[in-house]
Amino acid sequence: MSGPLAGYRVIELGVWVAGPAAGGLMADWGADVIKVEPPAGDPQRRIFGALGVADQHGVPPFEIDNRGKRSVVLDLQLPEARDQMERLLATADVFITNVRPEALERLGLGHQAVLARHPRLVYGSLTGYGLDGPERNRAGYDVGAFWARSGVAHTLVPPDQLPPGIRSGMGDHVTGITLASGVLAKLLERERTGVGGLVATSLLRAGMYTIGWDVGIQLRFGKRESTRPRQRSRGPLVNCYRAAGGHGFWLLLLEADRHWPKLVAALDRADLADDPRFADAKARLAHSEELIAALDEAFGAVGYAELTEAFDAHDVWWAPINSIVDAIADPQVQASGAFVEMTPRDGEAPYRAVNSPVDFAGHVFRPGQVPTLGEHTTQVLGDLNT
């Protein structure tokens, strides 16, 4: 693997998504990532089993976060395996884990003990709720710690509604990127000082940061405006609508007074411009529900293609509300480099996958294969003896 992290070694003791996501990004970026798994393997390998799927060959939720790694099986309940883990850590630049603190400490792998033995190591800790506090060992998962506990889920809907079902892995991936960025910052510091150290984040902290605007307003002013149904939004020009036929789109007219005349021109609706209820930003705010209703009627009378062509002709900012199928077929999504051709294993047909979200000039990225459980155990442990 080439990439900006070529030459760095990462030992990952991670399960499910968030920790392996951080290691997966570093593998995509060229690091030698050794994934240490228990004899039964990372349970994410069997994620489709929860849906009653017995054949676990080809598991995209596992593949995206684990491609290009080397898999080593160690039963860390055994003294000889813990010794082998210790020898692996001695070869590493980075240790990444999202195992709960109490379990790590029982294995002698808590951050204080590991860094005392390996002071140059960058120790990346990802937990549900943080390393301190009475619930430091509570199981998190992104649904619990990132979405529910942080306030993200409650903020998505009006206060009297329960949140919708959350798509899997979103909070995990945000937190994985967070840990990877922190680890890279610590590696830069180590270049100057020669000393590694702890880098810690949590699903809870990443969730709080994600809605930091709302939390900050509440902290500063003791209140915030609750989420409203779209037909009652106080930002009618930054809102979602449907064209005739039902295709949805989002208006992005954040600078309302500058953008409003362009929207009126695109719709060829001088009557909206002349309506005193919509004369300026203050009036549109006071009559936002009436404006949303008027725009619903106007947009609903025009086909999507005709409407969006008029938007573009009049420099009206908007975005399509794509389904996943729409997004995969979207020429701009494809041009952005969102997909990557995977390196198939023998007997596998070529296939595409989601790319990691950062490009580096001068590096053509082609991800490594997804390791089978324990595929590299003999090779990696053998190297320790040479």
CATH number at residue 32: 3.40.50.10540
Residue 222 located in a structural domain:
no
Q: Is residue 166 a contact partner of residue 147, using CB atoms and an 8 Å limit? A: yes
- Split at pLDDT 50, 70, 90, the class of 140 is confident
Please tell me the distance from the alpha carbon of residue 194 to that of residue 190, in angstroms, as a whole number.
Answer: 5
Overall average pLDDT of the 259-267 stretch: 97
Q: What's the first-to-final CA gap in the chain, in angstroms?
A: 23
Q: What is the pLDDT of residues 281-297, one digit of tens each?
A: 999 999 999 999 999 99
Higher pLDDT, 386 or 135: 135
Checking if the pLDDT of 54 tops 80, the result is no
For residue 53, what pLDDT is reported?
67
Same domain, 297 and 248: yes
Last residue of a domain, one of 296, 323, 350: 323
Checking if the pLDDT of 302 tops 70, the result is yes
The residues with which 32 forms a beta bridge, in sequence order, are: 9
Residue 173 located in a structural domain:
yes
Checking if the pLDDT of 364 tops 90, the result is no
Q: What is the pLDDT of residues 73-83, one digit of tens each?
A: 999 999 999 99
Same domain, 365 and 316: no
Please tell me the distance from the alpha carbon of residue 185 to that of residue 94, in angstroms, as a whole number.
Answer: 12
Lowest mean pLDDT among 37-51, 71-85, 110-124, 189-203: 37-51
Same domain, 308 and 362: no
**CA nearest neighbour of 233 among 219, 221, 250, 218:** 250
Q: Which sign does the torsion angle of CA 33, 36, 39, 45 carry?
A: negative
Residue 218 located in a structural domain:
no
Same domain, 74 and 187: yes
Lowest mean pLDDT among 217-231, 236-250, 338-352, 371-385: 338-352
Same domain, 95 and 129: yes
Same domain, 29 and 107: yes
Instruction: Report the domain count for the chain.
Output: 2
Same domain, 28 and 170: yes
Please tell me the distance from the alpha carbon of residue 356 to that of residue 21, in angstroms, as a whole number.
Answer: 10
For residue 55, what pLDDT is reported?
57
Residue 203 located in a structural domain:
yes
**For residue 130, what is the DSSP state?**
-
Last residue of a domain, one of 301, 323, 345: 323
Residue 221 located in a structural domain:
no
Amino acid at 147: W
Residue 166 located in a structural domain:
yes
Please tell me the distance from the alpha carbon of residue 211 to that of residue 178, in angstroms, as a whole number.
Answer: 15
CATH of the domain at 285: 3.30.1540.10
**CA nearest neighbour of 175 among 202, 209, 150, 144:** 202
For residue 57, what pLDDT is reported?
66
For residue 346, what pLDDT is reported?
86
Checking if the pLDDT of 60 tops 70, the result is yes
Residue 1 located in a structural domain:
no
Same domain, 185 and 234: no
Quote the pTM value.
Answer: 0.94
**Residues 6 or more apart from 172 whose CB is under 8 A from it?**
16, 17, 18, 21, 142, 146, 203
Same domain, 374 and 296: no
Residue 225 located in a structural domain:
no
Last residue of a domain, one of 276, 292, 323: 323
Overall average pLDDT of the 190-216 stretch: 98
Q: What is the pLDDT of residues 248-260, one digit of tens each?
A: 999 999 998 999 9
Checking if the pLDDT of 224 tops 70, the result is yes
- Split at pLDDT 50, 70, 90, the class of 28 is very high
Same domain, 69 and 102: yes
Lowest mean pLDDT among 29-33, 265-269, 285-289, 340-344: 340-344
Same domain, 348 and 309: no
- Region of residue 92 (left: phi > 0; alpha: psi -120 to 50; beta: else): beta
For residue 56, what pLDDT is reported?
57
Same domain, 261 and 180: no
**CA nearest neighbour of 82 among 109, 117, 46, 56:** 109
Q: Could you list the residue range(s) of the whole structural domain that residue 351 is in? A: 9-211+337-384
Q: What share of the chain is helix, strand, coil (3-state, %, to 5)?
A: 45, 15, 40
Please tell me the distance from the alpha carbon of residue 6 to that of residue 383, in angstroms, as a whole number.
Answer: 18
